[in-house]
Structure 1
Amino acid sequence: MRQGKFVAKDLVVDAVERCLSRISEAAKKLGVAAEGLAPGQPWAKIRGLGNLLRHEYDTIRRSVLWEIVTDDLP
């Protein structure tokens, strides 16, 4: 899927937001163990993304979600 189609599809964007929220919550539950399991990951940003998705959802640009999925996920 290309970025243009991604940002235009509400269902896909909603699913991606939900998955990223779950990743964020899992990172919170892992706590300090996360760094040992996957060193070098931006754990604070991963945890913070969940807060943005839950509380600042109206300010998140779809293009940023696209970048996270295509560039940042290992």
Structure 2
Amino acid sequence: MLSRKAALRLQDIIEDVDRIAMFIDGMSLSAFRADERTMFAVACLPQRITEAAIQIESDDAVLLGPDLPIVKMRALGNRLRHEYRYIDAVIIFDLARVEVPLARAAAELALED
């Protein structure tokens, strides 16, 4: 069974993924590129998501299995924090539309167990 801390971090992931979805709902890539506020928010929220994943203790991370790839998320968080100048809007937009929802699904699945 997951610890309370792990469950809270998983809930944080779900909430931040939902924020991203709300920000980009109905938005095209060109609209995303033109909206600096949304682009900045959507670029920062995955950092919060990866930080929440990092804060899940290794005992709990083992229980999550491969559905929530903690190691992959840590690498992404490091890249977003340290190489932010080199991350294109297309990458962020695709991340928000494809990868981030997968993290939400994995977090929901982990909370169900």
Q: Same fold (TM over 0.5)?
A: yes
Q: TM-score, normalized by length of structure 2?
A: 0.57
* Matching residue of 1:47: 74
Identity score, percent: 34
Q: Match for 1:7 among 20, 26, 33?
A: 33
Aligned amino acid, residue 45 of structure 1: K
CA root-mean-square deviation: 1.8
Q: Which moved more, 1:44-53 or 1:55-64?
A: 44-53
Runs of 4+ in structure 1 deviating by more than 3 angstroms, as ranges, are none
CA 1:11–1:29 in structure 2 vs 1: closer, same or farther (change >3 Å)? same
Q: Hey, what's the Cα distance between the residues in 2 that align with 1:38 and 1:6?
A: 34
1:13-68 Cα deviation digits (max 9, x unpaired): 11012211100111111143235236323322211121112111100011111111
Q: Which runs of 5+ in 1 are unaligned?
A: none
What SS does the aligned partner of 1:12 have?
helix
- In our comparison, the structure showing a higher alpha carbon Rg is 2
Q: Which runs of 5+ in 2 are unaligned?
A: 1-26, 103-113
Instruction: Give the number of aligned pairs.
Output: 74
Larger relative helix fraction: 2
Q: Does 1:22 align with 2:48?
A: yes
